[in-house]
Amino acid sequence: MLSKRIEEMLNDQINYELFSSYLYLSMSAYLSDLNMNGYAHWFHVQAQEEKDHAMILYNYVVSAGGRIKLAAIDGPKTDFEGIREVLEETLEHERDITSRIYNIVEEATSQRDYKTVKALEWFINEQVEEEENAVDNIAKYNMLAEDPKGLYMLDKELQARVYVPSPLLANQA
């Protein structure tokens, strides 16, 4: 069984992952509007992955005998000052997610809820990748921002990202 506090934190995290999906979809829409179709696609895939993250947590709460309590999802920002701002806000947002995951792990550890700690290990690893991707996107953009041809090629490269459902959800489609 999950303690009330852990159940509440996991429900909050489900909400935050869904908000993340909403935020990245909003960024994708903004980037489509700039005709940066590769960037728009990359963020569309990112939005799908965030929904997966919510569902992995959802499934864990159910399997651990907890109650799911879905709440309203905040509206994301819809306007940005350009690609750089989108990329920088992405890194900031991913760091925020990492810190929220760490808070749950800390609470679960203090409660000796090692089942939840173990379930969140996947998220700790995922966040390393998420932050690396965000840093990488900023670095590449900074390198090519002033070079229209380079930016065009970069946008093409981002178009190649393929959505792969998490193996943790593979049997539940």
d(CA 5, CA 17): 18
Residue tagged 């943790």 (tokens): 168
Size of the site for ligand FEO (CB under 6 A): 7
Four-CA torsion 104, 110, 111, 117, nearest 10 degrees = 50
CB 113, min distance to ligand FEO, A: 21
**Residue 80 — φ and ψ, nearest 5°?**
-130, 165
Q: Yes or no: say if 61 and 14 are a contact pair by the CB < 8 Å rule.
A: yes
**Residue 68 — φ and ψ, nearest 5°?**
-85, 130
159 is in an annotated binding site: no
Closer to ligand FEO by Cβ: residue 93 or 141: 93
Q: Yes or no: say if 105 and 124 are a contact pair by the CB < 8 Å rule.
A: yes
> What mask of x and - would describe binding to ligand FEO in positions 39 to 58, judged by CB under 6 A?
-----------x--x-----
In this chain, which residue has its C-beta nearest to ligand FEO?
A: 53
Q: Yes or no: say if 83 and 34 are a contact pair by the CB < 8 Å rule.
A: yes
Q: Which of residues 75-114 bind ligand FEO (CB under 6 A)?
A: 94, 97
User: Coil, strand, or helix at residue 140?
Assistant: helix
Q: Which of residues 5-44 bind ligand FEO (CB under 6 A)?
A: 17, 20
Q: Yes or no: say if 161 and 42 are a contact pair by the CB < 8 Å rule.
A: yes
131 is in an annotated binding site: no
127 is in an annotated binding site: yes
17 is in an annotated binding site: yes
d(CA 145, CA 154): 10
> What mask of x and - would describe binding to ligand FEO in positions 134 to 173, judged by CB under 6 A?
----------------------------------------
CB 21, min distance to ligand FEO, A: 8
Residues at the annotated binding site for Fe cation?
17, 50, 53, 94, 127
Residues that bind ligand FEO (CB under 6 A): 17, 20, 50, 53, 94, 97, 130
Which residues are known binding-site members? 17, 50, 53, 94, 127
